[in-house]
Structure 1
Amino acid sequence: MAASENLLEQTTRTPSPGAGHRRRVVVVGYDGLELLDVASVTSSLDLANRLGATPTYDIQFATLSGQGVRCDSGLDLHAQVALPDVPGTLHTLVVSGGLGHAAAAADPRLISQIQRLARTSSRVASVCTGATILAAAGLLNGRRATTHWHHADELARAYPAIRVDPAPIYVQDGRIWTSGGVTAALDLALAFIEADHGAERARWVAMGLVTYLQRPGNQAQMSMFIRARRPEHDIVRRVLDHVTAHPDADLSTTRLAAIAGVSERHLTRLVVEHTGQPPARMVRHARLQAAATALVTTDRPISSIAKATGFRSAETLRQAFNTWFGIPPTHYRNVHRRR
């Protein structure tokens, strides 16, 4: 309790801009929604209320009928209001994702209500596959948007007018925000709080939730440490083991082919078949893995880590990190050590 009281005391000494302004937030649900998509948003905004001088968010969970819905985990979630009864002027409209997103996007009554509320909402957002519903409402046409990485290709095929980017945790394009899968909703909510009240309020909310302070929106949804499964082919596995063990060595395709005892062409075909990427890209990712591990687990200078992991210079490593993670190595080291 003492820690909570101190957190509240520290936060309320300097109220955020607009602390007295009530922002109406409606989170939209349907059968088959993902519970975390809802809870990550509502719990974050509620904590922002409790950590401020006065509450600033009026939060409601709405469904088309006003009746409860069944989450895709099997739990039932009660609604507070029916969408047709929600007045037209909102600050933030959030559409949740979940396994039921396709059926929801095909419901003209739901789409009509989303379109009505979006017209007069200051901010419109989707979590995860909720982007499909915004797309069905025509709200993402001509915009850059993201969704859960697993559904990104599907969204891009169904709605070619959208510039679908499967990598970022969240994307803001004007007043329209979209986020990646599931727990990316937490990052989205923290971004809302920072936009509305400043970075300090967002920081206290992240601390209160015992979570990593808002990841950059353009950081990759999938960590490079979990996205690739170990290849089953013996030659590819041996090559990958060599690359991982010797990131600072000559890892050209010519050299790797010689180590594997096959032609460059054959090695390239095998690596693409079993890892989904050519040898040079596989090597670059392995070197980034080694550099990321060294950044978090050692105090070595960036230049030393760059040399030990096969990058020509600290600047080359910085450029590679910015491309993959969206942040420079020093920032990566700081935030992951805090985490």
Structure 2
Amino acid sequence: MLSLSVLSVFEFANAMMGQQHYDVCLLSEDGRVRTSFGTDMLTNRFGDGPFDTIIVSAAIDFQPATPATLAFLKDSLISSRRIASTCVGAFTLGEAGLLDGRQATTHWAMAAELSRRFPNAKVVPERIFTRDGQIWTSAGVTSGMDLALSMVEQDLGQELAKSVAKVMVLDHRRSGNQPQITIGPDLYSGSDRIEESLRYARQNLAKPLTVASLADAAKLSPRQFSRLFRATTGESPAKAIEKMRLEVARHLVEHSTTTIQKIVRDTGFGDSERMRRSFVRSFGFAPQVLRSRSRKGQ
């Protein structure tokens, strides 16, 4: 259900034009789907196309795509003008091979996993949306609206896109280059070199991420890097990376079915006890407790 808000952009574009420029269809393999909200929704089957633009939606608990879905997307690369994704929908595009050699983004907490699963993709975790040829991807659910506004601008012009943004009470149409709100403003340094090291860290959380490796990413000596990092962020590299690991791990604990042990590995904590202590110290609960509470809706 989360990704349906993106469709409102096209609905408002139609309303403001006074004509049906966009004919929006909901697609699935079987014609009926159960949404994350627990309701059933009728859709059109894949074979009812072709379609000008396809947007693969996000899901709170995403699963590997079916062979039929992947075949549909591969075929659509020939017949469709644009293929896009919102949030973790990028993983489905990756499974279909549509991200190979292309820039792509996804929710910041899943960017490292996207890069790990699809090494041929050029993952840019700091972007709110990307456009590489006919493939478009967006970071989170709300940035999917920015992506949709950019499509409207491409189709119908800047003025109409601005009008749609205004009537939807969006302050302005954000560009794809605008950074995601990720792990807190305290880790935005204002230094290009430090930002490069943070970008490297986000994409390589499973690695040890020593000062030497971060300094190398920033093209500085370890001593220069440590001094500049503390001067621009107010924190040590070790503390900043710990925060980054915690935020990503918490998101995965609360919003995915990934096992706790795999989250430990993917976020670079090394062992489950270290992550448990960090969770209790920072959030007041162990990972297992947070997962249980999130599933109960507490």
TM over 0.5: yes
**Cα shift at 1:223:** 6.1
Matched ranges for 1:107-256 at <5 A: 107-222=66-181, 226=185, 253=227
- Write the distance in 2 (CA, Å) between the matches of 1:53 and 1:215: 25
- Write the distance in 2 (CA, Å) between the matches of 1:159 and 1:150: 16
1:92–1:124: 8 Å Cα contact kept in structure 2? yes
2:27–2:45: 8 Å Cα contact kept in structure 1? yes
Q: Does 1:82 align with 2:60?
A: no
- Write the distance in 2 (CA, Å) between the matches of 1:227 and 1:117: 42
Q: Please point out which of 32, 36, 57 is paired with 1:67.
A: 32
Q: Does 1:92 align with 2:58?
A: no
Percent identical residues? 34
**Cα shift at 1:182:** 1.3
2:128–2:139: 8 Å Cα contact kept in structure 1? yes
What is the CA deviation profile of residues 22-41 of structure 1, one whole-angstrom value per residue up to 9, with x for unaligned ones? xxxxxxxxxxxxx23222x2
- Write the distance in 1 (CA, Å) between the matches of 2:77 and 2:12: 25
Cα distance change on mapping 1:227 and 1:146 into 2, 3 Å: farther
**Cα shift at 1:226:** 4.8
Query: Runs (4+) of structure 1 moved beyond 3 Å?
Result: 223-229
The one-letter amino acid paired with 1:70 is: T
What is the CA deviation profile of residues 203-233 of structure 1, one whole-angstrom value per residue up to 9, with x for unaligned ones? 111111111221111110116755759xxxx
1:36–1:183: 8 Å Cα contact kept in structure 2? no
- Write the distance in 1 (CA, Å) between the matches of 2:76 and 2:42: 17
How many residues in Structure 1 have an aligned counterpart in Structure 2? 202
- Write the distance in 1 (CA, Å) between the matches of 2:64 and 2:171: 32
What is the CA deviation profile of residues 28-76 of structure 1, one whole-angstrom value per residue up to 9, with x for unaligned ones? xxxxxxx23222x2111011000004220000111110012221xx332
Structure 1 alignment gaps of length 5 or more? 1-34, 230-251, 258-267, 278-339
Residue 56 of structure 1 corresponds to: 21
What is the CA deviation profile of residues 181-202 of structure 1, one whole-angstrom value per residue up to 9, with x for unaligned ones? 1111110111011110111111
What is the CA deviation profile of residues 247-284 of structure 1, one whole-angstrom value per residue up to 9, with x for unaligned ones? xxxxx949x89xxxxxxxxxx9x71121239xxxxxxx
CA RMSD of aligned residues (A): 2.5
The one-letter amino acid paired with 1:37 is: S
1:126–1:177: 8 Å Cα contact kept in structure 2? yes
What is the CA deviation profile of residues 291-320 of structure 1, one whole-angstrom value per residue up to 9, with x for unaligned ones? xxxxxxxxxxxxxxxxxxxxxxxxxxxxxx
Cα distance change on mapping 1:272 and 1:169 into 2, 3 Å: same
The one-letter amino acid paired with 1:271 is: S
Cα distance change on mapping 1:95 and 1:155 into 2, 3 Å: same
**Cα shift at 1:116:** 2.1
The one-letter amino acid paired with 2:21 is: T
- Write the distance in 2 (CA, Å) between the matches of 1:126 and 1:149: 14
2:108–2:182: 8 Å Cα contact kept in structure 1? no
Structure 2 alignment gaps of length 5 or more? 189-225, 243-298
The one-letter amino acid paired with 1:64 is: E
- Write the distance in 1 (CA, Å) between the matches of 2:239 and 2:27: 45
Q: Does 1:37 align with 2:37?
A: no
1:93–1:118: 8 Å Cα contact kept in structure 2? no
- Write the distance in 1 (CA, Å) between the matches of 2:20 and 2:31: 25
Cα distance change on mapping 1:43 and 1:169 into 2, 3 Å: same
**Counterpart secondary structure, 2:141:** coil
- Write the distance in 2 (CA, Å) between the matches of 1:204 and 1:52: 10
The structure with the largest alpha-carbon Rg is 1
- Write the distance in 1 (CA, Å) between the matches of 2:12 and 2:123: 32
1:44–1:205: 8 Å Cα contact kept in structure 2? yes
